[in-house]
Amino acid sequence: MSIVKILQQSTIESLSALYNQSFTDKDFQINQTKPEFEGDYTVVMFSLVKSLKLSPDAIGNQLGEHLVKNYPQFFSAYNIIKGFLNLTVADAYWQDLLHKNYNDICYGKKALNGKKVMVEYASPNTNKPLHLGHLRNIFLGWSVAEILKASGYEVVKSCIVNDRGIHICKSMIAWQMFGNGATPESTGVKGDHLVGEYYVKFNDVYKQQVAELIAAGKTKDEAEKEAPIMKATQQMLLDWEDGKPEVMELWKTMNGWVYAGFDVTYNSIGADFDKTYYESNTYLLGKDIVQQGMDKKVFYQKDDSSIWIDLTAEGLDEKIVQRSDGTSVYITQDIGLALQKYEQYKIDQSIYVIGNEQNYHMKVLQLICQKLGMPNADNIYHLSYGMVELTSGKMKSREGTVVDADDIVEEMITTSQQHTEELGKVKDFTAEELTALYNTIGLGAMKFYLLRVDPKKTMVFNPAESIDFHGFTGPFVQYTYARIKSILRKQSDSPLTNDSMTNHLLKAEKEVIVVAEQYGSIIEQAAQEHNPSVIANYVFNLAKTFNSFYSELSVANAETEDKKQLRLKISLLTANVLKSGMQLLGINVPERM
């Protein structure tokens, strides 16, 4: 149990004993004590004044005295500042916590709680390679899944691949017209990049044909509909839906190129999935549900035979769920897949990591599932996140101005190499060790930078800033970890003992233990909020706190052997928590750098 929960429980028990009333943790607030005041945690009691008919100072004095007297194993002193009760946690508590947990690599993580969650992320299209926007999505989804695991949930990581539709046919038509049989092998171009080139080629030719038709007297709308390459693409989509053998063969071939390319990227960035769904297998799933919705009068049919749902009472509008020709729309497929996920895995929550431009779509999906009475409809959760832009502005895939994931990863690794070589501390590394180090630092910098921002916020990615070894960055945390491991290696002739300690804690020593102790609560908060930035901010703060401790106090030349043991244990606990926290962000930490 964390010290905050101990304080909550002790405060409730003390208030009940003092005033013969029932209390809950909602009746008061607990904060960390501000640095300018003496104490570790502050109980804010102004909300108790009305019910107890006493001043905040009077309540604080009575409560503080009761806590110190009756819970001496936890609290050693108190003071009152303008109605705020500041409590000092006993040194014995911090030392006992350190002694029991300094070498626990699972410290802060929870036991399984019996609940299962699915986290869906990535969701790429097979007409182009993964880009920077996908990276924020993938890092966010993967990290949330790991945080939930650390918080006790069984987690299924899933991905839906958008492998059918008009956008896929655009790449296929362009390849047919201009590819001359090109393959990844014959061109030396990675499969997803090759297919993406033909998507851009389609758009270039389409714009040219539209311009020519407008010049010949067509309106813009007419030109866009009659452009030969677009008409050919629409025919190809019809042929695909009819299962025309040569079209299906081309579709499978080009998608195969893309999947091979995706796998290389996923492997390089450390992404994985437990279950992959394909839209080509799921796009018919919702048809039976539409009929059930008609039977339940959740949906209604218009004169043209299209089927709709009226959500105006919920502040939205009318939404089509089946076209007049009987074909499904995206929302229909999503309803069917939501049910399939539940039936396959019996999940307690289904988390969709999808950009905030789909906020409306996700509201509609949940509302329809609820109205249909689908199991687990209330537990659909949209993890909405803001777009990521570069300092040069927005990206557009159809114009070929996106930053490919592979390119940005390569740039980050190259930049990490330049920065590391400038520091000049890796002269004794082998070539293999250097390659691994540059990958670890470059990927770590990118992941940390993209995850340190609250998911809801739009952000600008600055590669140069992300790799600063002295800023709010992944490399700063990685360097702190490597520094601690160096300290521990140098003191390997002073093995840590399991003897309990009876040292008076100096301020700098205590500050590190206090921050490290919070790790379990931080995991819990990040899981509840589905927010990896909570972890990123925490590990940065812990690294900063340790560096302050180390600059002030010597480990190797501690005043006594007991103090040396204490500081070595503080160092090891910090290293374990930093490594664990960074792993929840998908970031490795190097033993040396």
pTM of the model: 0.92
b/e for 141-164, b at 16 or more Cβ within 10 A?
bbbbbbbbbbbbbbbbbbbbbbbb
The class of domain 3-89 in CATH terms is alpha beta
Specify the pLDDT at position 427. Answer: 82
Strand partners, 145: none
Specify the pLDDT at position 395. Answer: 43
Count of H helices and E strands in the chain?
23, 14
b/e for 18-52, b at 16 or more Cβ within 10 A?
ebeeebeeebbebeebeeeeebbbbbebeebeeeb
Sites in the chain below the pLDDT cut of 70: 392-401, 500-502
- Whether the CB-CB separation of 428 and 436 falls below 8 Å is answered with no
Instruction: Tell me the residue type at 17.
Output: A
DSSP letter at 467 equals T
Residue span(s) of the chain under CATH 1.10.730.10 come to 405-584
- Angstrom CA distances, 70 to 15, 17, 73, stand at 12, 11, 9
Specify the pLDDT at position 443. Answer: 96
Joined together, the tokens standing for residue 555 give 């480990």
Give first-to-last CA distance, the chain, whole Å.
Answer: 35
Q: What are phi and psi of 372, to 5 degrees?
A: -80, -10
The kind and range of the H/E element at 354 are strand 349-355
d(CA 518, CA 514): 7
Specify the pLDDT at position 483. Answer: 96
d(CA 431, CA 413): 15
Specify the pLDDT at position 29. Answer: 94
pLDDT tens by residue, 502-540: 678 999 999 999 999 999 999 999 999 999 999 999 999
pLDDT tens by residue, 289-325: 898 999 999 999 999 999 999 999 999 999 999 989 8
Topology annotation, domain 405-584: Isoleucyl-tRNA Synthetase; Domain 1 (1.10.730)
d(CA 393, CA 18): 61
d(CA 50, CA 28): 12
Specify the pLDDT at position 174. Answer: 98
DSSP 365-428: HHHHHHHTT-TTGGGEEEEEE--EEETTB---GGGT-S-BHHHHHHHHHHHHHHHHHHHT--TT
Specify the pLDDT at position 469. Answer: 87
Which has the closest alpha carbon to 148: 524, 522, 454? 524
CB atoms within 10 A of CB 140: 24
